[in-house]
Amino acid sequence: MSAEVIESRATATPVLPPLQIGRHTIESPVVLAPMAGITNRAFRRLCREYGSAGSQAGGANGASSLYVNEMVTSRALVERTPETMRLISHGPEEHPRSVQLYSVDPVTAGLAARMLVTEDRADHIDLNFGCPVPKVTRKGGGAALPWKTELFRGIVSAVVREAHPYNVPVTVKMRIGIDAEHTTYLDAGRIAEGEGAAAVALHGRTASQAYSGQADWSAIARLKEAVTTVPVLGNGDIWSAEDALEMVRRTGCDGVVVGRGCLGRPWLFTDLAAAFAGTTSRVQPGLREVTDTLRRHTAYLVDFYDGDELRACRDIRKHIAWYLKGFPAGSTVRNQLALVDSLQALDDLIGTMDLQAPWPGDPAEGQRGRAGSPRVVALPENWLSSRELNEAQRAQIAQAELSVSGG
């Protein structure tokens, strides 16, 4: 981080106060959204390094931001499947250690939370009620679940009950609802608040929208009006630090959750820390710094996969297009990078690129990741006929966690 950033931060006025999530003070009010296959220990480490650079420049004492791991299923966690145990692993420098749970059953959710807190595996638990993926909603989970009010209440209550004695805060991440005709976020926000959640986060889209169209930030503002005693966080279409500031201005939210916007640009957390500290300094890396970051990300993945270079390189492949967005890397090099199978092969390919290329500006900005298109949400039979579960639905969701990946 440059001296210019450090100097400008020293005299700036913060846009928001630090975010308080239970006992945790998050100096920069930013949360890394849990993303399947993305926010593993390696990527969190990279984002945290960039976020810490921004926060330390301003003299922050608490955690720079909150970095949440990718979703794991409560059932798989209770059964201690090896991949789930890898997914909830944290580096020694991570604090708070944050785990996101998926569950459709209060008992299993409570058992998973008990395991996390009694074995000192997490300092914060987030609950996933926002996933729009058909294999999740078809079983009544993710964004479909808050429609069943008492089931939602039961899961939140069970996890808070287990976590509270250990002073581990529980937060809830959700969507507006299933579709425009079946919204759930206001009821869910009030219930979560009443059951002891430490914060609620809203992605301003329905499950039907998936990631298409524009996020409805006005829903975040309405949730902020409805939930008055705990922080409300906004999520959706934050592609830059300026977007984050605009969301706060328009909604009054207490902090932001960033997902696809940081794909291939972990330095967004430096920008966000600077923006919320009240400065206009932004990171604009050239291709050399971008490829250095790509290389470091891959090395961190090798560590995450216990030295397995091939597995790490297979993992990094999906990130390459995001890292190179807007840069003049030819299709041949891009295609070869997408097949890389070792650190040496990665180094060799990077060495063929024009590393003097500067930050490309607008071509590197904007949307990242898949947007998709609106769709009819896959749901259990007769799911929308009542806000209560019937016996057939109870039997169906009892099997749901067995068939959802994420652990």
Catalytic site residues?
A: 131
Rounded distance between C-alpha atoms, residue 22 and residue 151, angstroms: 24
Decide if 146 contacts 129 (C-beta within 8 A).
Answer: yes
Decide if 52 contacts 65 (C-beta within 8 A).
Answer: no
- In terms of Cα–Cα distance, which of 153, 256, 156, 142 is closest to 208? 142
Decide if 165 contacts 208 (C-beta within 8 A).
Answer: no
Would you state the structure tokens that stand for residue 197, as one six-digit string? 């959640």
Decide if 213 contacts 373 (C-beta within 8 A).
Answer: no
Angle formed at CA 29 by CA 2 and CA 70, multiple of 5 degrees:
100
Task: Report helix, strand and coil shares of the chain as percent, to nearest 5.
Answer: 45, 10, 40
Beta pairing, strands 170-175 & 177-179: unpaired
Backbone angles phi, psi at 341, to 5 degrees: -130, 5
- Beta-carbon contacts of residue 386 (< 8 Å; ≥ 6 apart): none
Neighbours of 267 (CB within 10 A): 23
Q: What sign does the dihedral 185-221-250-96 (CA atoms) show?
A: negative
The residue assigned the tokens 């209560």 is 388
